[in-house]
Amino acid sequence: MGVRSDLAGLRALLESYHQISGLKIAVVFPDGGTPPISVGEDCPFCRRLKRDERFLCRCRENDAAAFARAMQGETCIYRCHAGLYEAVAPILYDGRPIACLMIGQIAGHQIADRQAETELAARLAGHAELAALIGDYLTMPPRSDAELAAGVRIMTACAGYICLQNMISPVRSPLCARFRAYLETHYAEPLTLPAMAAALEVSVTTLCTAVRAECGSSPHAILDACRMEQARLLLARTDLPISAIADRVGIGDYNYFARKFKQAEGVSPSQFRRAAH
């Protein structure tokens, strides 16, 4: 699924966050087909770290794991493989994650700690520029736990603002067409509005509103029509018992099926079959 973005609005928001925090911030689209929108440069520590392909791969693995958590709806703060703090929050559209907002390259308050330096050396063992990396790390401005928490809260507020302003939205075919295509292969299942909305990745409210606006009928009415169409075909072309036909079109209750069929066709299923033959 592709996305449509308000690039100017997103960049202005990210630049405002970067200006007041000094932190690198980015909107990331985990679909892989949309390039990220990023404000702020890599710090010297990270630039040097990524010169080694092995550590660059670890950076990418860390990012991918964080994005996966965000796409499950989770906002998380974590330490990357190199010991810096990062945070990621989901950006929602219609209640579902569509992208991620990420801040990173943050040194904790324990930066000048001898224990922290020893831990860093262990994390970066094998890097050709280990001594220089430790020097880069020790020159980074440390952030307290309170500063980190504040930065994450504002980042999360920005993610909510992006959602409210619809700065990112999916590019999809019209919902009614997608809904009809879904019913063609799932009409025989015991469908409910929440199940159909979940399958189409929209809320129940959006499904009902959009389908009625685009198709002129409710989702249940379209589902009933789809099932009755299949029932007519089976009655006319097969000798299956009417109860079996009811099951095949997703209506397990024979009496309910017979009532719905008569409402739609004006005759009972057995009368329709006799006329068709």
Q: What was the pLDDT predicted at 172? A: 65
219-237 helix and 269-276 helix, angle to the nearest 10 degrees? 50
The CATH number assigned to the domain with range 2-170 reads 3.30.450
- For CATH 3.30.450, list the domain ranges present in the chain: 2-170
Amino acid (one-letter) located at 162: I
pLDDT value, residue 114: 65
**What is the rounded CA–CA span in Å between residue 130 and residue 141?**
19
Cα–Cα distance for residue pair 131/126, rounded to 1 Å? 11
Spatial CB neighbours of 218, under 8 Å, sequence gap ≥ 6: 208, 211, 212
Query: Tell me, what's the pLDDT at 171?
Result: 73
Instruction: Provide CATH 1.10.10.60 ranges for the chain.
Output: 173-276
At the fourth CATH level, which superfamily is domain 173-276?
A: Homeodomain-like (1.10.10.60)
Q: pTM, whole model, 2 decimals?
A: 0.64
**What's the rounded Cα separation, in Å, for the pair 94 and 201?**
8
Q: What is the pLDDT of residues 70-117, one digit of tens each?
A: 999 999 999 999 989 999 999 998 788 999 999 999 988 665 566 777
Question: In the chain, which stretches have pLDDT less than 70?
Answer: 1, 31-32, 109-114, 172-173
